[in-house]
A and B are shown apart, each in its own frame.
Chain A
């Protein structure tokens, strides 16, 4: 069986949506962060397979993915740091707690 591009794109879209769903429903900030990772990874898959299947001549997608992974890692690190900071103050990692600033 030939594995077509679509077989990659659909799961990646599903993965993206799962991340989205998780991000929108989870209250725990760590869980939200994980969901965000899912979304970013879905994007990475997209870039990779598109490069592989459609434009095999160049490496743009691949390299983009590499950078995206690095950026995602940085984002996570920073987010975790802020969450820890917040946790120190409120002793919670619940996003619903963080809504004092509003209006």
Chain B
């Protein structure tokens, strides 16, 4: 079991948990957190390189590094792991954000030990989710990732944290209720007569045996289940409150990685396993996600709390992810995955910066700040770069992702899809409006509050955190083909066979 490298994505965090449990002071906690996340990062980078090597050497299985270990033999539940390019991209994203999140929580107070314990538990869920290909295991890790949020927000958050934490948890659990039903449904209908039932994604996809009426019953549940986490309209309302109240690292991890679980799940479970229903019912969700995209952007235009702005912008961007997935073609899906990466990085950057600014000014209301460029130029420039990435400036990640999505979506000849593509395109303008509004109000202009003039610029750990993220954002933005190919080559053709592509 331990010869499979993927297992270490769960093992390392578990060791980190133990390590932090034994820690006695802040320095040790930091050391453990940073070492552990560096190890995870190294592991994911190694995995990426090795994966590319294997692919280049001609490995053509849909997933590599496969490993199956029987767990509940009676139900044929297995601990199945395996990755393709998409999972690797997500693992890479998660480890980067965990690392930067650890840096961003350098001075977390109170109860630092508990904070990191929960944070790492959260990351176990995330990593486990991305390496699993067994529906049950996947779902279990998915829920493992959800619950620490409650305590992380409830204890270390700000504002109406108890309300927000509760709302977030309950709504996400509501989503997972639908999800659980659909997983059980898939389990019972996923294999042809006389074959042992399985939770294994690949096998179910291979059998492609779910009857059409069952697909139409289960697909909406799976999609809504994951869609809630992906902040799909109208199930997104946990996001603004939740993000606004969460502590920095949690916002980063949640918006950066956890919301990606939604998109990833929609793709991996809902569409991959139930392509027929995806084709039939895509239009419903297309409308919802299309609304999400524009609606989130418009909402963000009038918010005054930085985190609310960013939360609504996440609604818009994550809406775009789901939107693109529903287009059911390779280009748009590539775009969706890139958008997941891109949004993960830049929204983490945003939340990190907002946290840093809030830590200094003790307000997140843009009406009470101004001219921060003069006071904290480093943070301000980073914020601007994040803003540019968000509004889709070429050279940064947002652009390539959005363009891939738009081109891919437009490839779809359906009129409804086209119309919604154009509507979604409009978001680039609205995004520019709200980003520039914030930038103009917050960073530029005269200094609003004279007391702010004494504030200091970023410290070294904050710089490390932000610069890492910016480099990643720029790397995707400058060399998109590398990522696009990584993702695209992993769409095995049989996924889309049924969709007629």
A and B touch in the complex (CB under 8 A): no
Q: Give B residues with C-beta under 8 Å from A.
A: none
